[in-house]
Amino acid sequence: MSKSKNVSDFIKGVKIVFDRIEEHEQVLFCNDADTGLKAIIAIHNTTLGPALGGCRMRPYETVDDAIEDVLRLSKGMTYKCAAADVDFGGGKAVIIGDPLQDRTPELFRAFGQFVESLNGRFYTGTDMGTTPDNFVHSLRESSCIVGVPEEYGGSGDSSIPTAKGVLYGIQATNKTVFGSEEFGGRTYAIQGLGKVGFKVAEMLLENGGDLVVSDINRHAIDRLIQRAIELNRGVKVVSGDEIYEAEADVFVPCALGGVINDQTIHKLKVRAVVGSANNQLLTTDHGDQLNERGILYAPDYIVNSGGLIQVSDELYSPNPMRVLQKTKAIYDTLFTIFEQAEAHSISTIKAANLFCEQRIESRKRRNSFFAHKKPGKWTVRS
Ligand code: NAD
């Protein structure tokens, strides 16, 4: 092969890489042969502040899958931070590995060194496949670690504010759809009774809501049934896909992403969807379809931002009152989004995306206004 062909193939290859990360500021590939660490950190946008986002560990089948995941998730964090009005931007990390075998202290220390190398541009902590304990090791190498156990200065179980946020989301949605924010007198179809779903289910039961629930884990269901007995209440349990066609007023997805899709959307009998699961809509088009069917969708990244609010607050030294106050704001933000969607005849997910993009744009103007006040390094040289 000629030298010029090699060069042109190289340039094409570089262009493909840059086209793919066009929306992102920085993508860092982290390789540590000693510990076997293979990680990717993606920083999507730091207009609002340093990037913040969890670190996920998965045995990705290909590096391509890992790149796709980290790019998509880090962009999502930009919107989530903007919606929650915290001074952070969007970032995320993925470690390619098996959480059951590869989570060694050394690997997380090495990961901490890479995070530290970004010099405060990226803050991270636990996500799927990792636990707060793993990041205690990273914390020995970097001060940019959040969500660690309380004895290390962390703020504790983030599913508590997340569940509270979902409940504020349900109140705002109930008020918009049914005219009253009361939980009682309505039926909620809850998919997933894990850390968040159980707490939401418990609160709804305590406040007079009727429940139809599903979980693939029998223990999770038994635990809720036990709690319902203590409260003198009952719950209806359905299996698998039956949750989508439940006779209910509100669908509360608290398990998987992508659950609003071509296969499920026509089955829904509810008037609203409000839950904690990330990326509930398979595509933005599914948000339009919910809108056309008269089902009010409370955008997931607004509803489930309680956990993010808590970890971002940690950096100012944890304060539960402040976290609660910001989590309550989810209620008002949703009203703003519902009103904007109505006013512009667009879906609520499109209205939420626009709302976040406008917040980022206005911050950009403020940033550049002050950036110009400092002389550049070259100009001050005598
Ligand atoms: P979790 O793992 O504790 O609970 C998930 C539950 O869903 C489990 O009980 C699991 O058995 C069940 N489940 C899995 N597949 C299912 C299926 N097909 N049908 C029914 N149930 C199924 O997770 P979590 O922390 O409660 O989080 C729930 C969702 O909320 C996830 O999508 C997560 O990404 C999102 N979320 C969580 C937080 C948080 O603070 N924990 C914050 C933001 C978003």
pLDDT tens for each residue of 264-297: 999 999 999 999 999 999 999 999 999 999 999 9
Rounded Cα distance, 57 and 54, in Å: 10
Rounded Cα distance, 360 and 367, in Å: 10
CA–centroid distance, 237 to ligand 1, in Å, is 17
Q: What is the mean pLDDT of residues 145-171?
A: 93
CA–centroid distance, 198 to ligand 1, in Å, is 10
**From atom 14 of ligand 1, which residue's Cα is the shortest distance away?**
255
Rounded Cα distance, 225 and 216, in Å: 15
Ligand 1 atom at minimal distance to the Cα of residue 159: 40
Q: What percent of the chain stands above pLDDT 70?
A: 97
100 SS3 class: coil
Tally of structural domains, the chain: 2
Rounded Cα distance, 91 and 70, in Å: 8
Same domain as 186, residue 104:
no
Same domain as 176, residue 125:
no
CA–centroid distance, 92 to ligand 1, in Å, is 19
pLDDT bracket for residue 15 (50, 70, 90): confident
CA–centroid distance, 72 to ligand 1, in Å, is 19
What percent helix, strand, coil does the chain show, rounded to 5?
A: 50, 15, 35
Instruction: Tell me: pLDDT of 47 over 60.
Output: yes
pLDDT bracket for residue 3 (50, 70, 90): confident
Same domain as 176, residue 112:
no
pLDDT bracket for residue 377 (50, 70, 90): low
Annotated binding site for NAD(+): 192-197
**From atom 35 of ligand 1, which residue's Cα is the shortest distance away?**
277
Mind listing the pLDDT tens digit for each residue in 208-258?
999 999 999 999 999 999 999 999 999 999 998 999 999 999 999 999 889
**From atom 9 of ligand 1, which residue's Cα is the shortest distance away?**
194
Same domain as 166, residue 96:
no
Known catalytic residues are 92
Ligand 1 atom at minimal distance to the Cα of residue 158: 40
Check if the beta carbon of residue 90 is closer than 8 Å to that of residue 121.
no
Ligand 1 atom at minimal distance to the Cα of residue 255: 7
CATH number at residue 100: 3.40.50.10860
Same domain as 249, residue 331:
yes
pLDDT, residue 312, reads 92
Domain boundary among 110, 128, 150: 150
Counting ligand 1 atoms within 8 A of each CB, the residue from 52, 126, 160, 196 with the most, and so the one to mutate, is 196
278 within domain boundaries: yes
Ligand 1 atom at minimal distance to the Cα of residue 157: 40
- Centre a 10 Å sphere on the Cβ of residue 342 and count the other Cβ atoms it contains: 12
Annotated binding site: 192-197
What distance lies between CA 329 and its chain's CA centroid?
Answer: 17
CA–centroid distance, 104 to ligand 1, in Å, is 25
Out of 115-119, 145-149, 186-190, 220-224, pick the least confident.
Answer: 145-149
Counting ligand 1 atoms within 8 A of each CB, the residue from 146, 304, 311, 330 with the most, and so the one to mutate, is 304
Q: Which of 191, 242, 188 is nearest to 217 (CA)?
A: 191
Length in residues, the chain: 382
Ligand 1 atom at minimal distance to the Cα of residue 191: 20
Rounded Cα distance, 173 and 297, in Å: 8
**From atom 19 of ligand 1, which residue's Cα is the shortest distance away?**
215
4 within domain boundaries: no
167 within domain boundaries: yes
pTM of the complete model beyond 0.85:
yes
Domain boundary among 150, 176, 201: 150
Rounded Cα distance, 180 and 161, in Å: 23
382 within domain boundaries: no
Rounded Cα distance, 138 and 311, in Å: 16
370 within domain boundaries: no
Domain residues for 164? 159-351
CA–centroid distance, 254 to ligand 1, in Å, is 5
Instruction: Tell me: pLDDT of 198 over 80.
Output: yes
CA angle at residue 299 from 275 to 174, to 5 degrees?
65
Q: Which residues line ligand 1 at a C-beta cut-off of 6 Å?
A: 158-159, 162, 191-197, 214-217, 220, 254-256, 276-278, 304, 307
Sign, CA dihedral 128-133-139-144, equals positive
pLDDT, residue 382, reads 47
Residue with tokens 């660490």: 37
pLDDT bracket for residue 366 (50, 70, 90): confident
Residue with tokens 């956990």: 307
pLDDT bracket for residue 108 (50, 70, 90): very high
pLDDT bracket for residue 35 (50, 70, 90): very high
Q: Copy the structure tokens of residue 376.
A: 């550049």
Same domain as 246, residue 172:
yes
